[in-house]
Structure 1
Amino acid sequence: MSKKKEAEQQIADQEETTDQDTEDIETPEDIEDSTENESDEEQSRIEELEAELAHTKDSLLRKAAELDNIRKRVQRERVQLFEEAKAGALEDFMPIADDLLRTLKAAEESEIEDSFLEGVTMVAEKFKNVLEKHGVERIDETGVPFDVNLHDAMMKQPAPDEKTGSDVVLQVLESGYKIGNRTIRHAKVIVSE
């Protein structure tokens, strides 16, 4: 080969090498693009983690609220169960209280030894105190309007006077009992027509 051709070939090889070297060199635009890609990936990951954190917080808040609701419901059920058991137990004693009161009324009409009458009166008074202590109230009023929540009408009869309206309790045949707003046993009554 001639020296000229050889020189041209060397120049061409150098230009080719230079072109390859310049291709490998990152330009400021290339660096900016790669940092933008990395920044976008990091931002995307941050948003993903924030969404996951928000979901976890929401889930934990819901679980805490659910647990609180369960505690409140269990407490209400406990109180309700206690009240029902208390009412059931007291309901069993209602006939005894009625019998004691009937005994005292019968004793007033007959001649009974005073010491016996005092004993029965003391027992009746103790029984009354125990019922009051547990919030039990007797339903034995006459002259009040008939209330289906408190009374059980056994019969209707004409009012003894014209002043008494219709559906008024004339006579209590058997006392009822209630605790607060809950009726344990309805009073059996005679109601005016």
Structure 2
Amino acid sequence: MNNEEITRETEETINSSEQTADQVTDSEVEEPAAEVTAEERVRQLEEEMEKLKDAQLRKAADLENMRKRLNRERDLIYQMARESAVEAFLPVSDDLTRTMKAMEDDPKAASYLDGIKLLSDKFDGVLSRYGVERIDQEGVPFDVNIHDAMLIQKAPDEDTDSGVVLQIVENGYKMGEKTLRHAKVIVSE
């Protein structure tokens, strides 16, 4: 082998080594880039998954809040319907009470009065089953939440304080804590 052949062989070896080194370097560079890309993609997917989980939790909370609101609204509508229906029957109760008062002094109406009392008691029982209470106490302090003063007059005796209900002109009614109709009363001065 002459010098030229040795030089050529050496150059070929060097060239092939450089090519192999370039190939190795390229493939080594590509692999970490691929790994970084895969790791980055996994991180992105995890972030997206967390965002979706968060959105799902928010939607579930919104749905639960809507259910609660709808239940409250349904209960309110139901309560308002009950109150409205009961209010429609209050004049009947008042008429029965007035009829009994008018018949008390008539001895001929005693048998009718007993029947009307039974009917009135039954009607009051139905109202109480729905939580309705009659506001008809005399001698109690005047309360603007349940009374409506129709007249203020002097107390019949000195023992009666000022601002006391002397007489019920028309009964009032409560359903639970809500006053359906204020009692119309005469109050002491």
TM bucket, shorter chain: 0.7 to 0.9
- Which consecutive residues of structure 2, in runs of 5 or more, have no partner in the other structure? none
Q: State, as a whole percentage, how many aligned pairs show the same letter.
A: 46
- Aligned to 1:70, the other structure's residue is in SS state helix
* Aligned equivalents of 1:75, 1:103: Cα separation in 2: 43
Counting only pairs closer than 5 Å after superposition, residues 1-193 of structure 1 correspond to structure 2 as 6-7=4-5, 10-11=8-9, 13-14=11-12, 17-26=15-24, 31=28, 34-193=30-189
1:54/1:166 Cα in 2 relative to 1: closer, same or farther (>3 Å)?
A: farther
Using a 3 Å threshold, how does the CA distance of structure 1 residues 18 and 57 change in structure 2: closer, same or farther?
Answer: closer
1: CA distance, partners of 2:40 / 2:163: 77
Deviations 1:64-88 (CA, angstroms, capped at 9, x unpaired): 1211121222222112112111111
Question: Is residue 103–residue 110 contact of structure 2 (8 Å, CA) maintained in 1?
Answer: no
The 10-residue stretch of structure 1 (51-60 or 113-122) with the greater mean CA deviation from structure 2? 113-122
Q: Name the SS for the 1:26 alignment partner.
A: helix
Runs of 4+ in structure 1 deviating by more than 4 angstroms, as ranges, are 3-6
- 1:24/1:56 Cα in 2 relative to 1: closer, same or farther (>3 Å)? same
The code of the aligned residue for 2:16 comes to T
State how far apart, in whole Å, the 1-side matches of 2:15 and 2:182 are. Answer: 110
Change (3 A) 1:25 1:67: closer
Q: So what's the TM-score if we normalise by structure 1?
A: 0.84
Count of equivalent residues: 189
Q: CA deviation at 1:167?
A: 2.3
Over aligned residues, Cα RMSD in angstroms?
Answer: 2.5
Tell me: CA distance 1:46–1:162, structure 2 relative to 1, closer, same or farther (3 Å). Answer: farther
**C-alpha separation in 2, matches of 1:51 and 1:164:** 78
Gaps of 5+ in 1: none
Specify the code of the residue in structure 2 equivalent to 1:104. M
Change (3 A) 1:112 1:62: farther
